[in-house]
Structure 1
Amino acid sequence: MKQPKRPPAAISFIILFFVLGCSFAAGYGLTLIIYHWTGTPSEFWSHIISGLIGMVLIISVASISRLIANKYSKGIQQHHLMQNELINAMTRIAQGDFDVFIEPRDEYHHNDMVAGINKIAKELGSMEQLRQDFISNVSHEIQSPLTSISGFAALLKNNTLTPAQKNRYLDIIETESKRLSALSDNLLKLSALETGGEPLSFIPFRLDKQLEEVVLMLEPQWNSKDIAMEVDLEKLSIPGDEGLLSQVWVNILHNAIKFTPEGGMIHVILTSDQTKVCCQIIDTGIGIQPEDQIHIFERFYKVDKSRDRALGGNGLGLSLAKKIVELHQGQITPQSEINKGTTFTITLPKLPSV
């Protein structure tokens, strides 16, 4: 820290002489006031007393001045320490180190700035963790099908394979390729929706007809598992992006079919009141653990990790569905019991019935 310049010796002597003169003059004045009440002593003692009072005043002024100077100097030092600590914290953040925390102190005049830097470091640290988790999850999801494709492609080079074996390996390669394509497509859609790169087209359409079409489109899947599909749809229209909302029903119904055992049942109910429509998709599947229900809309989160490989999926379907519903000013709520089934309730703003 740069030391302040000292005044020249002549100026210091003049200041000292002025302080001494003022102190002795003040001491003389005080003795006159005291003598007014006590009487005037002899001239000798009068000079001694006034001199002592002047010395006391000099010592008092010097002590007070020293205290003020020390406090001022300490304040400057604390100010410089605070500046250095703030600059160091901001430099670490700029270099990508978000493990930063500045301890607030009572003597700091800028604790609001300290709190702001601590908050920035915490938020950036959280974002960095999310970024790393996202990269890790994407890498894992890509690596799995790529490993399968590479492995089974290598097996196809064996000339001793039977046609049945070749067809089975080709089916696996095709399935894994579709998984990669679906992953890429869902990531692009999520990114476009979150950045506003894919504008929504709000046009009134028949929601009941859309749900019927989705159920029929998925018929091969639920029919192959002998699942009873019950549909109870009120005729109504809503304003929204028809293509994106179709993705919501496909994703939720696909999950319901996937996690409902053979011979189970799925019930699709569409109702409305004066302000909103309510779609419930109810299945008799394996259910979701309570501790998992709060995470099911997170990207790449999979409830039953031990069965993911056999059931497929990449943990993005519900994230995408939730984002689309929220962009339509709606809500999506899960309710589930283990071995009893799951109900997804989706509410959306409505138009008058047609």
Structure 2
Amino acid sequence: MRQTKRHPLAISVILLLFAFGCFFAAAYGITILIYRWTGTPTDFWAHIISGLVGILLIICVASISRLLVGRYSKRIKQHQGIQSQILNAMTRIAQGDFDVFIDTWDDEFHHNDMVEGINKIAKELGSMEQLRQDFISNVSHEIQSPLTSISGFAALLRKDTLTAEQKNHYLSIIETESKRLSALSDNLMKLSTLETGGEPLSFTEFRLDKQLEEVALMLEPQWSAKHIAMEVDLERVAIQGDEGLLSQVWVNLLHNAIKFTPEGGVIRVSLTSDQTNVCCRITDTGIGIAPEDQIHIFERFYKVDKSRERALGGNGLGLSLVKKIVELHDGQITPQSEIGKGTTFTITLQRLHSVKEN
């Protein structure tokens, strides 16, 4: 059997006529309801009124439909615009451009959560990229200085006219700069390992007072050479922690105290405990740290006085390493300092138990 295809225009006309018929039928029904209260007019006016009501219904429905279609089209365009912005932002982020920000919209498609998420991702990635660039710049700067010194003094050693004293002096400088490079590399590796969790902590129970005493004795040649008085007041107490890492904390802090305390100064080390915590304070009578610098001293490569730090062999990583180790032990480290009066570092760790005298 052969099927015939109806033309779309014919179908549209039929549907339109059907819709008009429905509107006028509805108008006729409405007028009949009205006539129950107002009375029925002559047939002529009844048809006129019914037709006017039908036309009015058509106009109202058409206006409402146009308004709804307009609002829906606007929302669709808004939806498409937001989608376009989101796709563009994600493309820019994928290409390494993190300077992205999308305005939030008050829409019914609930894009705001997605938009806020993308803005947050872009901001965090931008911060990480800035940190990465700063890190590379700082590492390059720290490496370049000793390499320049090593290269320069190695070239001077080629001269045949140098005395033995001059050669020894240049060799001493090369050795010192080589140690600086080695310390920089070692600290960077330790920080990287601790932050990535590449090497788990080895927690054991040990006497913290004994460890502090041993570190102070190990550094005796340094503080004795500057005629610094080392005052130690240690409560007998044991803790659980990574003994090797915590030893680095005390070595770094005491080394800094010795380095920045002038000859004839005083360094005090105290250890106390209460029911829950152990508190170690390392106080010196050194040059002190300005308030504006204290909030930055735990940042990598930060140096209060770059020229002075370089002369003393620092690389700005020691305190970053100290803070990371203390945090891995669920502890806190707090600096207090005043220019010309010295610095105190307070380290709080969880207490295991007190050790009684034998």
* TM band (smaller chain): over 0.9
1:14 is displaced (CA, Å) by 2.1
1:186 is displaced (CA, Å) by 0.4
Identity of aligned residues (%): 79
1:342 is displaced (CA, Å) by 0.3
Secondary structure of 1:302 counterpart: coil
Give the conservation status (yes or no) of the 8 Å contact 1:297–1:318.
Answer: yes
Which residue does the alignment assign to 1:28?
A: 28
Superposition TM-score, scaled by structure 1 size: 0.95
1:314 is displaced (CA, Å) by 0.5
Stretch moving more, 44-53 or 251-260: 44-53
Which residue does the alignment assign to 1:4?
A: none
Distance 2:329 2:54 in 1: 85
Secondary structure of 1:306 counterpart: helix
Which residue does the alignment assign to 2:9?
A: 9
Distance 2:275 2:335 in 1: 23
Give the conservation status (yes or no) of the 8 Å contact 2:209–2:237.
Answer: yes
Which residue does the alignment assign to 2:324?
A: 323
1:293 is displaced (CA, Å) by 0.7
Letter in 1 for 2:134: D
1:99-148: CA deviations, max 9, x gaps? 11110011252211111111111111111111111111111111111111
Distance 2:156 2:258 in 1: 32
1:41 is displaced (CA, Å) by 2.3
Distance 1:274 1:216 in 2: 29
1:34 is displaced (CA, Å) by 2.3
Alignment of 1:191-206 (within 5 A): 191-206=192-207
Give the conservation status (yes or no) of the 8 Å contact 2:271–2:278.
Answer: yes
1:272 is displaced (CA, Å) by 1.5
Distance 2:8 2:135 in 1: 66
1:351 is displaced (CA, Å) by 2.2
Which residue does the alignment assign to 2:86?
A: 86
1:344 is displaced (CA, Å) by 0.6
Superposition TM-score, scaled by structure 2 size: 0.94
Secondary structure of 2:306 counterpart: coil
Give the conservation status (yes or no) of the 8 Å contact 1:40–1:46.
Answer: yes
Distance 2:103 2:327 in 1: 39
Change (3 A) 1:31 1:274: closer
Distance 2:166 2:314 in 1: 25
Give the conservation status (yes or no) of the 8 Å contact 2:229–2:267.
Answer: yes
Distance 1:351 1:248 in 2: 19
1:41 aligns with 2:48: no
Stretch moving more, 176-185 or 328-337: 328-337
Give the conservation status (yes or no) of the 8 Å contact 1:289–1:338.
Answer: yes
1:35 is displaced (CA, Å) by 2.3
Distance 1:37 1:347 in 2: 90
Distance 1:11 1:258 in 2: 95
1:303 aligns with 2:304: yes
Distance 1:167 1:215 in 2: 31
* Aligned residue pairs, count: 348
Give the conservation status (yes or no) of the 8 Å contact 2:105–2:111.
Answer: no
1:43 is displaced (CA, Å) by 2.1
Stretch moving more, 211-220 or 180-189: 211-220
Distance 1:330 1:47 in 2: 92
Stretch moving more, 333-342 or 75-84: 75-84
Letter in 1 for 2:317: L
1:236 is displaced (CA, Å) by 2.0
Stretch moving more, 177-186 or 72-81: 72-81
Secondary structure of 1:204 counterpart: strand
Which residue does the alignment assign to 1:179?
A: 180
Give the conservation status (yes or no) of the 8 Å contact 1:233–1:271.
Answer: yes
Distance 2:125 2:105 in 1: 23
1:227 is displaced (CA, Å) by 1.0
Alignment of 1:9-158 (within 5 A): 9-107=9-107, 109-158=110-159
Unaligned ranges ≥5, structure 2 = 1-6
1:252-286: CA deviations, max 9, x gaps? 01110111111111011112222222111110001
Which residue does the alignment assign to 1:164?
A: 165
Give the conservation status (yes or no) of the 8 Å contact 1:238–1:349.
Answer: yes
1:18 is displaced (CA, Å) by 1.6
Alignment of 1:167-246 (within 5 A): 167-246=168-247
Distance 2:38 2:236 in 1: 109
Give the conservation status (yes or no) of the 8 Å contact 2:146–2:178.
Answer: yes
Which residue does the alignment assign to 1:3?
A: none
Give the conservation status (yes or no) of the 8 Å contact 2:206–2:240.
Answer: yes
Distance 1:275 1:43 in 2: 100
Distance 2:135 2:125 in 1: 15
Letter in 1 for 2:219: L
Secondary structure of 1:307 counterpart: helix
1:213-245: CA deviations, max 9, x gaps? 111111121111111111111222211111111
Stretch moving more, 314-323 or 221-230: 221-230
Secondary structure of 2:245 counterpart: helix
Distance 2:140 2:121 in 1: 28
Letter in 1 for 2:8: P
Secondary structure of 1:151 counterpart: helix
Give the conservation status (yes or no) of the 8 Å contact 1:19–1:58.
Answer: no
1:76 is displaced (CA, Å) by 1.6
